């Protein structure tokens, strides 16, 4: 019988690449990857924390978002992921908009965001539903499965899965522990 | 005991296991049963979990539900098993839109979990454990996760890939 062991903290199997949607310098000493779902309440909650992390470590951190839509639980998970992909160079603008009104996510709202970003709505709608865009989302998911993504959001810090709690203190502490910047995490906003 | 201690102990258990999968029949719905030996001819994935509606179980089964086509590519059947009854399973499957069977190991309670050595007697629930069984009924991979940790799918898919190449 072949025995397969499962590592305690899985490592990212798909390394960061130019294909990724990223913020911050490619050679930044802190590498943070998130697999997420725009309709997941925990992703929505952690979105604010990630923004705070990025502000605190500005210039020293590279953040990558990869899609992991749990579409059988969240009906708008896949359309939103595909909308973000279809936005192309405006990915991060769409990313912010998708997180801005999480309770009102529907196709009309997504297309309204596309209009706000200057897209022709019909062209955007077709692109969003295209096989090529779907394949990009699936590729993100496949890499996530291989890397041990087990919920959303799943974070990887310096290439290793963050298994701590999903909150501000835990994420800052884990980044400090992994990257050793010597910073004191900032106080929580009032 | 730390989480690392628990995992080390589990891996020792894992390495010592080698046997034909015990056959069993369990309810898959209030009026339907599922028998392991009747599904011979295709790989099977048995996912034992502690309880319907508990947070980690929800994440774990939701993940498998989402990637069912990855299991289908290997012609594999996936079933979840817990000590909850069939009506509870039905409510949970409806709530989560689960598209694979949940088997009720509730009468006698934990009978099949005990047969597979994954019953937590003090808690009266199944361990969070996964068995990959080949088409002939031989257990090819087993993993018992710390009960609070979602083991993900990577290990299952690696085990299935070692059985036979997936279809495109």
Q: How far does the CA of residue B108 sit from the closest CA of chain A (Å)? A: 31
Look at B154 and A141 and tell me if their CB atoms are within 8 Å: no
Query: For the complex shown, is ipTM > 0.85?
Result: no
Residues paired with A156 in a beta bridge: A33, A161
Backbone φ and ψ for B119, nearest 5 degrees, come out as -105, 130
Q: Which two tokens stand for residue B110?
A: 């934990």
Task: Give the separation between CA A13 and CA A45, rounded to whole angstroms.
Answer: 26
A5 touches B at CB < 8 Å: yes
Evaluate whether B48 touches B134 at the Cβ level (below 8 Å). Answer: no
Kindly report the CATH number that applies to the domain delimited by A21-179.
3.40.30.10
Task: Give the separation between CA A115 and CA A90, rounded to whole angstroms.
Answer: 12
B88 catalytic? Reply is no
pLDDT digits (tens, 9 = 90+) for B68-100: 999 999 999 999 999 999 999 999 999 989 999
**Whole-prediction pTM:** 0.83
Q: How far does the CA of residue A40 sit from the closest CA of chain B (Å)? A: 12
Place of tokens 């394949």: A135
Look at A72 and B99 and tell me if their CB atoms are within 8 Å: yes
pLDDT, residue B55, reads: 73
pLDDT digits (tens, 9 = 90+) for B99-112: 999 999 999 999 99
DSSP classification of residue B68:
H
Give the ranges where A20-167 is alpha helix by DSSP (H).
Answer: 41-56, 77-86, 91-100, 107-116, 121-128, 131-146
pLDDT, residue A81, reads: 98
Rounded mean pLDDT of chain B? Answer: 87
The one catalytic residue in B57, B76, B147, B160 is: B57
Torsion sign, CA atoms A13, A17, A22, A24 = positive
A57-91 burial, b at 16+ Cβ within 10 Å, e below that, comes to beeebbbbbbbbbbbbbbebbbbbbbbbbbbeebb
Look at A72 and B154 and tell me if their CB atoms are within 8 Å: no
Residues of chain A with pLDDT under 70: 1-8, 188-190
The predicted model gives B116-132 an average pLDDT of 96
- Whether the pLDDT of residue B157 is over 50: the answer is yes
Cβ count within 10 A of residue A169: 12
A8 touches B at CB < 8 Å: yes
Evaluate whether B79 touches B100 at the Cβ level (below 8 Å). Answer: yes
Torsion, Cα B64 B70 B75 B76, to 10 degrees, reads: -20
pLDDT digits (tens, 9 = 90+) for B11-43: 434 433 557 999 999 999 989 999 999 999 999
A2 touches B at CB < 8 Å: yes
Chain B residues whose CB is inside 8 A of the A10 CB are 152, 154
A6 touches B at CB < 8 Å: yes
Question: Which of B6, B62, B63, B71 to probe by mutation at the A interface, max A CB count within 10 Å?
Answer: B63
Q: Which two tokens stand for residue B115?
A: 């047969």
Task: Give the separation between CA A6 and CA B159, rounded to whole angstroms.
Answer: 11
pLDDT, residue B50, reads: 96
The count of residues in chain B is 168
Torsion, Cα B107 B109 B115 B121, to 10 degrees, reads: -170
Chain B residues whose CB is inside 8 A of the A73 CB are 62, 65-66, 96-97
Domain residue spans of chain A? 21-179
Chain A residues whose CB is inside 8 A of the B5 CB are none
Look at B17 and A145 and tell me if their CB atoms are within 8 Å: no
Look at A145 and B151 and tell me if their CB atoms are within 8 Å: no
The nearest alpha carbon in chain B to A77 belongs to B66
């Amino acid at each position: 019988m072949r025995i397969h062991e499962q590592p305690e903290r899985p490592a990212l199997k798909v390394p960061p690449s130019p294909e990724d949607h990223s913020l911050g310098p490619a050679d930044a000493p802190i590498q943070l990857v998130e697999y997420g779902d725009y309709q997941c309440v925990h992703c929505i909650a952690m979105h604010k924390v990630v923004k705070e992390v990025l502000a605190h470590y500005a210039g020293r951190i590279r953040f990558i978002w990869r899609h992991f839509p749990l579409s059988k639980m969240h009906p708008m998970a896949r359309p939103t992921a595909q909308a973000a992909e279809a936005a192309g160079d405006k990915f991060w603008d769409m990313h912010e908009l998708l997180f801005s009104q999480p309770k009102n996510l529907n196709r009309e709202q997504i297309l309204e965001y596309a209009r706000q970003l200057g897209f022709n709505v019909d062209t955007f709608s077709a692109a969003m539903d295209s096989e090529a865009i779907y394949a990009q989302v699936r590729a993100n998911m496949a890499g996530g499965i291989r890397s041990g993504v087990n919920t959303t959001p799943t974070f990887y810090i310096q290439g290793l899965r963050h298994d701590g709690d999903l909150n501000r203190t835990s994420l800052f502490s884990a980044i400090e522990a992994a990257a050793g910047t010597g910073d004191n995490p900032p106080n929580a906003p009032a | 005991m730390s989480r690392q201690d628990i995992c080390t102990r589990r891996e020792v258990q894992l390495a010592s296991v080698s046997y034909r999968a015990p056959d069993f029949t369990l309810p898959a719905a209030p009026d339907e049963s599922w028998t392991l030996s009747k599904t011979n001819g295709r790989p099977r994935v048995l996912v034992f979990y502690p309880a319907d509606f508990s947070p980690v179980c929800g994440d774990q089964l939701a993940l498998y539900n989402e990637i069912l086509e990855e299991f289908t590519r290997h012609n594999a059947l996936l079933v979840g098993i817990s000590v909850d009854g069939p009506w509870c399973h039905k409510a949970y499957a409806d709530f989560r839109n689960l598209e694979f069977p949940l088997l009720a190991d509730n009468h006698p309670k934990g009978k099949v979990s005990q047969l597979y050595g994954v019953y937590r007697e003090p808690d009266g629930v199944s361990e969070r454990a996964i068995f990959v069984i080949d088409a002939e009924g031989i257990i090819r991979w087993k993993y018992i996760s710390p009960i609070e940790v979602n083991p993900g799918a990577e290990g299952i898919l690696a085990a299935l890939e070692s059985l036979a190449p997936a279809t495109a």
